[in-house]
Structure 1
């Protein structure tokens, strides 16, 4: 899954990389969490003068997907991720896969390796970033949810797929990364049906990311500074006291 990520690039870097128009400058965010507003990018109907690429617009959406048919959000689970393998046919995501595919800019994400409790090792947080640096784009889905009183909220989910070798020792899932050359196809919901972009929802190349162990500061949403991404030594298993050998009932004692 993907439950925390970061976007620390400048707005200029983000908008240039995604060829999008959006709001003015925004702050670096080192610990983006579910239910918070996140920056998303969607194709627009208009086109930039002199450009053969569709104009893309960037705007904020709530991280936590709500299908349009939901009556009361309090009675519906928080959907922060959509599984690439099932999103096309799943009722919650089917319409968005067909009509509202988006890109979610990021500079990396956090994941936790959770050893067995008996190991004596606490969960270890990792900061997973592209080796080349810069901005990347997660595949995402969006839905505008309308309440009974007529108010509306844009909601979004990050798509995940099976982890590649680099991430698999930490977690079995990872976000789907869309490469720049595939942006247009992924966002084109008019001519590109879900089955025609299904192959884009695959694990990224094995050497694309690097995973750095970081402290548990990232566990708290209130921690939002660059110190969250400072590498730390990996915790070692606690030493277990040697077990006493079991006595053999068939052996006679001398005492």
Structure 2
């Protein structure tokens, strides 16, 4: 699962990196510990401009359009690729509202099955320091009490592979630039297109370009948000990598 990530970039630089329209409201994302329910930027095709990309904002934690109560649905921060096309919470968004969720890096905590001390946090990022483009989905939910729309989003996850296997059994689906346009297409998927898109994001080497290192457990507290959270620390003596 992916439950925390970092994003440190201006809206203008984000638009430049993802060839997307600059958001109406200027912003600089500088949060090294983004947690569920936090407002996050995402990139999607602009329905009014074909497949042109636009930066939008959403609350992290997808609420399906049919939900009566946001409280019960707000924990849908991750959507498993293995079930995204069938699960009621996610299938409509997968077919029609796909997006990219940019990140500077993300955090994962070692599991009992890995080779590191359980619950040791690691920071994972692109070795070249470019942004990570995480495959996501988004939805618009109408609050029945206020009649106001709320845009929410979820990160798509998959089984881990490659260098990240010793840390955790899941990882976000990270898309290379060559797949961005296809993934963001305004096309509503049906029939064989659903399986075609699932195959498209089932990358053979999903860890390409990634690097990782241990970080302080200061990241465990969602109120902490400084860049020091992603700083490498010596691995505790029970670890085996560094």
TM-score normalised by L of structure 1 = 0.84
Q: List runs of 5+ in structure 2 lacking aligned partners.
A: none
- Residue in 1 that maps onto 2:40: 38
- The 5-angstrom pairing of residues 175-214 of structure 1 reads 175-190=172-187, 193-203=193-203, 204-214=205-215
Partner of 1:160: 157
**How far off is 1:122 after superposition?**
5.4
RMSD of equivalent CA atoms = 2.2
Partner of 1:246: none
1:147 corresponds in structure 2 to 143
Runs of 5+ consecutive residues of structure 1 not aligned to the other structure: 48-52, 239-255
**Counterpart of 1:26?**
28
Cα 1:198–1:155 change in 2 (3 A) is: same
Larger Rg: 1
Contact 1:144 1:155 (C-alpha < 8 Å) held by counterparts: yes
Comparing 156-165 and 198-207, the one that deviates more: 198-207
Identify the residue that residue 120 of structure 2 maps to in structure 1. 124
Q: CA deviation at 1:73?
A: 1.9
- Tell me, in whole angstroms, the C-alpha distance in 1 between the residues paired with 2:157 and 2:63: 17
In the TM superposition, what are the counterparts of 1:1-255 in structure 2 within 5 Å?
Answer: 1-21=1-21, 22=23, 23-47=25-49, 54-76=51-73, 78-115=75-112, 121=117, 123-149=119-145, 150-190=147-187, 193-203=193-203, 204-237=205-238
Alignment size in residue pairs: 231
Q: Is the 8 A contact 1:212 1:231 kept in 2?
A: yes
The alignment's TM-score, normalised by the length of structure 2, stands at 0.88
